[in-house]
Amino acid sequence: MDKYVINGGKKLYGTVSISGAKNAAVAIIPAVVLCDEPCVIENLPKIRDVSVILEILKTMGAKVTRIGGDDARVKIDPRGIKSSKVTCEKLVGDMRASYYLLGALLGRFGSASVPASGGCSFCDRPIDLHIKAFKALGAKCDLLPDKVVLSSEALVGNDIDFDVVSVGATMNAMLAAVRAPGKTVITGAAKEPHVVDLANFLNKMGAKVRGAGTDVIKIKGVSELTGCTYGIIPDQIEAGTYMAAVAAAGGDVTITGVIPKHLESITNKLRDTGTTVEEFDEAVRIVREGELTCCNVKTTPHPGFPTDMQPQFVALLSGANGKSRVTESVWEARFSYIPQLRKMGADIIENGSTAHVDGVNDLHGAKVRALDLRAGAAMVVAGLAAKGTTEIADIKYIERGYEQIVEKLTAIGADIRRVTYVESSEDD
Ligand code: EPZ
């Protein structure tokens, strides 16, 4: 097993470049199933979730070829996929976003059978809204204990209204609807950058999707989609995590290859902490010299403050002067990592959906665990800021979403190593 060992308390200086967005890639790759020709996807992040979804497509019959020996540029030929039944339970169960195969296969074949998806389980993650969308388009849905089975005579465009904003349900509805004859109108749609990226990819293949990035997405069904080359947007959350890391540890780092507009809610909150954020066309510069100030944060769907940055911000605010309140309004219970931060000296009390963070100036290294992807990122942020040595176990969760995090942090002066170890009961 491997863990990260961080000798913290070192300021960070230099430049770090951001990879393609995980949550766009994991939807765009299954979307290729809808196409009648091969597609080339560029700027893919080199992370475990992307390898797994590509592997799933291969087991289904797609041909996946790296272009120029680069994992970031891949040609996917979906023409070998002849069945809408996915059988690789273990791979599908290894990630949450495998649920996009439901929408993509339903849109392509009018049916789908997909094993239960897995992934980060920081709380209950229902798919009732996905099912509501499929049913609105004319599908019959059977939720079995180990798989979801969808069937239809023929899908037809329809109105789909979401009363809860869901990224996954919005994207699955788009996947299922792009080839359904007639007009689909999705109201209460999620507006995240990856929703817009999926719409742009679908449109590049010839789909007619309008309004992505607003509450209302209108889709006119088309009968075929043609191959294209498409580059994935930069990862908003990877960028935000490095922004938080620099603010927590102090220093002066330019983060390149980003879309500053996507980072606005994070930028605004960092400024509240006294961190300087300079914006350029495709970069942001983070400078933190003085002490950090407390601030209040509430997660909301885009363009609000992203839930996927909440744990990293709690880690950051653990070392800020004063009392901060962090309220989670997207997921019911996303604070399971807080006891790990307490091991490092953080003073945090949970009260329902709010974490009350009383900043301390002596965060110290400890042996902790990455309980899920963003919880793990929070341990890295805290470990960089804390004095002494932090050991983070279960880094497989971190590596499902962060490309070369050790290398990227080392390049900006962090003392972080990936170390192989044998787990003992003392590690708990
Ligand atoms: C996506 O999950 C992301 N995952 C999550 O990021 C992210 O936290 C989340 O969106 C919110 O931004 C991927 O894109 C692969 P939702 P998703 O449906 O789509 C409720 C990460 O760390 N809901 O937008 O599964 C749900 O309970 C991951 O990268 C229903 O009630 O999330 C939640 O309260 C973790 N019924 C809210 O909607 C449903 O059918 C938002 O969830 C679906 C969701």
Of 190, 215, 231, the position where a domain reaches its end is: 231
Nearest CA to ligand 1 atom 27: 125
Residue type, 160: I
CA dihedral 16, 19, 23, 27 (to 10 degrees): 170
CA distance 317 to 357: 7
Mean residue pLDDT across the chain: 96
Considering the domain architecture, whether residues 227 and 163 belong to the same structural domain is answered as: yes
Whether the predicted pLDDT of 425 surpasses 80: no
pLDDT tens for 245-292 read 999 999 999 999 999 999 999 999 999 999 999 999 999 999 999 999
Considering the domain architecture, whether residues 315 and 333 belong to the same structural domain is answered as: yes
Residue 260: asked if its preceding bond is cis (omega within 30°), the reply is no
Work out the pLDDT band at 233, boundaries 50, 70, 90. Answer: very high
Considering the domain architecture, whether residues 324 and 379 belong to the same structural domain is answered as: yes
Asked if residues 77 and 113 have their Cβ atoms less than 8 Å apart, the reply is no
Work out the pLDDT band at 424, boundaries 50, 70, 90. Answer: confident
Considering the domain architecture, whether residues 194 and 303 belong to the same structural domain is answered as: no
CA distance 352 to 305: 19
Residue span of the structural domain in which 340 resides: 2-18+234-427
Nearest CA to ligand 1 atom 41: 166
**Distance from residue 227's CA to the centre of ligand 1 (Å):** 29
Work out the pLDDT band at 40, boundaries 50, 70, 90. Answer: very high
CB-ligand 1 contact for 307 (6 Å cutoff): yes
CATH number of the domain to which 150 belongs: 3.65.10.10
Specify the pLDDT at position 250: 98
| Cα dihedral across residues 163, 168, 169, 175: positive or negative | positive
Q: Among this protein's residues, is 120 annotated catalytic?
A: yes
CB-ligand 1 contact for 26 (6 Å cutoff): yes
Taking the CA of residue 171 as reference, the ligand 1 atom at the shortest distance is 19
Specify the pLDDT at position 70: 87
Specify the pLDDT at position 422: 86
The gap from C-alpha 272 to its chain's centroid, in whole angstroms, comes to 25
Helix (H, G, I), strand (E, B) or coil at 71: strand
Considering the domain architecture, whether residues 227 and 281 belong to the same structural domain is answered as: no
CB-ligand 1 contact for 129 (6 Å cutoff): yes
Nearest CA to ligand 1 atom 25: 168
Specify the pLDDT at position 428: 54
pLDDT tens for 44-96 read 999 999 999 999 999 999 999 999 888 899 999 999 999 999 999 999 888 88
| Cα dihedral across residues 89, 90, 93, 98: positive or negative | negative
The gap from C-alpha 374 to its chain's centroid, in whole angstroms, comes to 9
Considering the domain architecture, whether residues 242 and 368 belong to the same structural domain is answered as: yes
When pLDDT is averaged across residues 156-165 and rounded to a whole number, the result is 98
Considering the domain architecture, whether residues 225 and 241 belong to the same structural domain is answered as: no
The DSSP call for residue 223 is S
Q: Please work out, in degrees rounded to the nearest 5, the angle formed at the alpha carbon of residue 204 by the alpha carbons of 262 and 128.
A: 65
Considering the domain architecture, whether residues 227 and 238 belong to the same structural domain is answered as: no
Specify the pLDDT at position 332: 84
Of 214, 231, 248, the position where a domain reaches its end is: 231
CB-ligand 1 contact for 179 (6 Å cutoff): no
CB-ligand 1 contact for 289 (6 Å cutoff): no
Taking the CA of residue 374 as reference, the ligand 1 atom at the shortest distance is 22
Considering the domain architecture, whether residues 11 and 126 belong to the same structural domain is answered as: no
Nearest CA to ligand 1 atom 6: 308
| Number of domains present in the structure of the chain | 2
Asked if residues 416 and 3 have their Cβ atoms less than 8 Å apart, the reply is no
CA distance 239 to 223: 38
Of 231, 247, 282, the position where a domain reaches its end is: 231
Considering the domain architecture, whether residues 163 and 34 belong to the same structural domain is answered as: yes
Considering the domain architecture, whether residues 197 and 279 belong to the same structural domain is answered as: no
Choose among 260, 128, 126: nearest CA to 193. 260
Global confidence as pTM: 0.97
pLDDT tens for 107-137 read 999 999 999 887 666 667 889 999 999 999 9
Considering the domain architecture, whether residues 261 and 144 belong to the same structural domain is answered as: no
Residue type, 93: G
